[in-house]
């Protein structure tokens, strides 16, 4: 029986609608990703914390065949950038160079957040760790870690920790170190890394947990003394420096980097992004670049990243009351 022109038109529309909604059409769309430039959001101002993503996107863009544009969206302890990502389209064209540590700590540090990091984001890969290092002013008489801990216990009034600000990672590391030793050395907040490091050099304060690169020139010049790295293994930048765990202190504290996106990115797109980033991390020149920054590459699976984020969130919930952190 012949169809009328009207019936044939509606049949074609229905067929097109079916094909567009079919798994085949979805797969075809995903295999072509990406077809336009990708935006990578960094939650910090330009210069410093965006050095790593700007280096990694060069090779990633070559592998994916599209430009990757780094966009800085600082503010509110990374909440500005995170909120932007959470509300972005779920197509893989807006990605997040996140700080997983900030995301995990958020529920324990803030009374309310405009997002749920565990529910509203897609983990793609945990990129790298940037371990903290325990340093002192060179004027401190403690030459060894044993000397330092003995001094902290016997003469605590002679010492102060510096931090990069209230509830900064350096603040948290100092509190955790105090907790492990049973001491109560006060922690003095400064407005960022440079003022805190300069305060150590001037002996205004005596102790600090900075990342490795900003403190390295002071250590090499003899203005600071390094005791240990707050990581689970020794690091290439300081191969002779023991970990705190080797010295009997179970304290791991690192800066963290991860690639994420809004919840709901298709799995095939996640896989493409993951594979491009992990391949980049395996390049010898990238490994050398990271070693020079005191950064340890990871390149985890999405599943391992999600599990680590859950573990860190639970860790923060248990840790915060022990070290006296109050929600803001």
Task: Give per-residue pLDDT as tens, 3-33.
Answer: 454 554 454 544 444 544 445 444 444 468 9
Task: Give per-residue pLDDT as tens, 281-293.
Answer: 999 999 999 998 8
Q: Give CA–CA dist 49/231, Å, rounded.
A: 20
- Residue 178: pLDDT over 50: yes
Q: Which positions ≥6 away from 114 have C-beta within 8 Å?
A: 79, 83, 86
131-230: CATH, from 3.40.190.10, 2.40.110.10, 3.40.50.300, 3.40.50.620: 3.40.190.10
Q: Do domains 37-129+256-322 and 131-230 have the same CATH topology?
A: yes
Torsion angle defined by CA atoms of residues 3, 4, 9 and 13, in that order, rounded to the nearest 10 degrees = -40
Q: Give CA–CA dist 47/42, Å, rounded.
A: 11
Statement: 37-129+256-322 belongs to CATH 3.40.50.720: no
Among residues of the chain, what percentage have pLDDT more than 90? 81
Higher pLDDT, 16 or 167: 167
Confidence of residue 143 (pLDDT cuts 50, 70, 90): very high
Question: Would you kindly state where each structural domain of the chain is located, as residue ranges?
Answer: 37-129+256-322, 131-230
Q: How far is CA 208 from CA 36, 132, 291, in A?
A: 45, 9, 22
Strands 38-42 and 68-72: parallel
Mean pLDDT across the stretch 201-212?
A: 95
Q: How far is CA 249 from CA 15, 230, 280, 311, in A?
A: 66, 9, 34, 20
């Amino acid at each position: 029986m012949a169809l009328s022109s009207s019936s044939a038109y509606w049949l074609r529309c229905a067929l097109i609608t079916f094909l567009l909604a079919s798994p085949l059409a979805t797969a075809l769309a995903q295999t072509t990703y990406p077809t336009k430039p990708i935006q990578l959001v960094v939650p910090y101002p330009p210069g410093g914390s965006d050095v790593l993503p700007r280096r990694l996107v060069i090779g990633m863009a070559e592998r994916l065949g599209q430009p990757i544009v780094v966009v800085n969206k600082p503010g509110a302890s990374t909440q500005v950038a995170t909120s932007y990502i959470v509300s972005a389209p779920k197509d893989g064209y807006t990605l997040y160079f996140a700080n997983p540590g900030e995301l995990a700590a958020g529920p324990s540090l803030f009374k309310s957040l405009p997002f749920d990091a565990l529910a509203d984001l897609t983990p793609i890969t945990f990129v790298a760790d940037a371990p903290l290092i325990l340093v002192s002013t060179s004027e401190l008489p403690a030459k060894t870690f044993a000397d330092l801990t003995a001094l902290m216990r016997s003469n605590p009034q002679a010492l102060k920790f510096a931090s990069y600000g209230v509830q900064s990672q350096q603040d948290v590391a100092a509190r955790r170190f105090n907790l492990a030793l049973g001491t109560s050395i006060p922690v003095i907040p400064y407005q960022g890394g440079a003022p805190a490091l300069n305060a150590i050099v001037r002996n205004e304060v005596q102790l600090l947990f900075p990342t490795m690169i900003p403190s390295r020139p002071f250590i090499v010049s003899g203005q600071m003394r390094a005791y240990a790295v707050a990581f689970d293994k020794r690091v290439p930048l300081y191969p002779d420096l023991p970990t705190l765990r080797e010295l009997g202190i179970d304290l791991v504290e690192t800066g963290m980097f991860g690639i994420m996106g809004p919840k709901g990115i298709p799995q095939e797109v996640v896989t493409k992004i993951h594979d491009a980033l992990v391949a980049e991390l395996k390049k010898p020149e990238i490994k050398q670049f990271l070693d020079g920054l005191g950064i340890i590459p990871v390149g985890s699976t999405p599943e391992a990243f999600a599990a680590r984020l859950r573990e860190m969130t639970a860790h923060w919930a248990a840790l915060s009351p022990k070290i006296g952190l109050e929600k803001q």
